[in-house]
Structure 1
Amino acid sequence: MRLPCIGILTISDRASQGHYEDKGGPAVETSLRAILAMPFEALRRCVPDERPVIEAALSSLCDNDGCCLVVTTGGTGPAPRDVTPEATEAVCDRMLPGFGELMRMESLKQVPTAILSRQTAGLRGRSLIVNLPGKPSAIDLCLKAVFPAIPYCLDLIGAARLETDPAICPAFRPGK
């Protein structure tokens, strides 16, 4: 039986060119390994802040690699090259704005600049794409805020079943 596949996509010009160490991708994987109480295959990619490249990477992780969940990090701010939300919207069939709303709400408890973040989430076939910020401490905060809803979302779209460690991040499934 194949392990559930989770894509981790870092969006960063400098990291994709090797000028800067990718700290976002490893932070996402570390958080996921703490949250999930089951093995999974992590597929990590790093691409520049180029909308067509981001769209191609997201599509490939969902369609070709069969990732049930794709988590992005970076490119969600207001800078001109921050185009991750636009790329995500372009490849998704339906958007789930509540993810971004909750992440901003949680982040605002830490820093007033959280209102500048444009994280979002959406569905592509049987895959959920979630945009996270690029800062490792914000990644863990935001991922833990939204993850209780992710396993049920994946159940609803017919994707792989994910089980969380209830001591770290209890999943909510109605009727359970």
Structure 2
Amino acid sequence: MFKVGVITASDKGYKGQREDLSGKAIIEIMEKQGYKVERYVILPDDEEKLYEEMVYMSDELKLDLILTTGGTGFSPRDVTPEATRKAAVRLAPGISEAIRYYSLKITPKAMLSRGISGIRKGTLIINLPGSPKAVKESLEYITDALHHGLEILTGQAGECAR
């Protein structure tokens, strides 16, 4: 069972001015898929705080997967990709490219997502969109490949070729 952390980047959510439906959607989907959500936080759109939480989840909690939601758009306060790039040692661009590719079939606005994916030590970090609908669509699209990628990352599987 893979251990997951969920980070919602939202100034309004952090202040209690908006319910975090996207973070809750991630938790629901991942638990249905058999993942164990061990930590869930709502943080302001603050690059340093987001970075510090990703490092904590990876280095201290040793989670297998961190899923973020929010903060991937064009607003000056949208800094989740920057925090992720700072935390990640290796990038995993194919995941975010696949999410955008799939999302473009649904809406042309998907091209505006700046979300990235990367690896820090034994933890995969993926930026998901901010809306509950887009979170659901993205996770449903990547779940099978994601599971295999985590098996490889954690040493439970050796390689993709059979």
1:164 counterpart residue number: none
Return the match for 1:119 from 93, 112, 115.
115
Superposed CA RMSD in Å reads: 1.9
Aligned partners of 1:51 and 1:87 also within 8 Å:
yes
2:6 counterpart residue number: 8
Aligned partners of 2:6 and 2:26 also within 8 Å:
yes
CA distance in 1, matches of 2:104, 2:40: 28
1:166 counterpart residue number: none
Aligned partners of 1:10 and 1:46 also within 8 Å:
yes
Summarize deviations over 1:121-175 as a string: whole Å, max 9, x none.
100000000100010010011112222222222222226x6xxxxxxxxxxx643
Unaligned stretches of 5+ residues in structure 2: none
Matched to 1:79, the amino acid is S
Matched to 2:61, the amino acid is D
Aligned partners of 1:76 and 1:85 also within 8 Å:
yes
Q: Does 1:63 align with 2:59?
A: yes
Summarize deviations over 1:73-119 as a string: whole Å, max 9, x none.
00011111111011101010100111111111111111111110011
**Structure 1 moving runs of 4+ over 4 Å:** none
CA distance in 1, matches of 2:121, 2:142: 20
CA distance in 2, matches of 1:46, 1:24: 11
Change (3 A) 1:49 1:39: closer
Give the 5 Å matches for 1:79-158: 79-158=75-154
Aligned partners of 1:103 and 1:119 also within 8 Å:
no
CA distance in 1, matches of 2:83, 2:25: 22
Higher normalized helix content (fraction of residues): 2
More deviation, 50-59/23-32? 23-32
CA distance in 1, matches of 2:99, 2:52: 25
Unaligned stretches of 5+ residues in structure 1: 162-172
CA distance in 2, matches of 1:88, 1:17: 22
Return the match for 1:32 from 14, 30, 44.
30
TM-score, scaled to structure 1: 0.85
Matched to 2:133, the amino acid is S
Matched to 1:72, the amino acid is T
Matched to 1:28, the amino acid is I
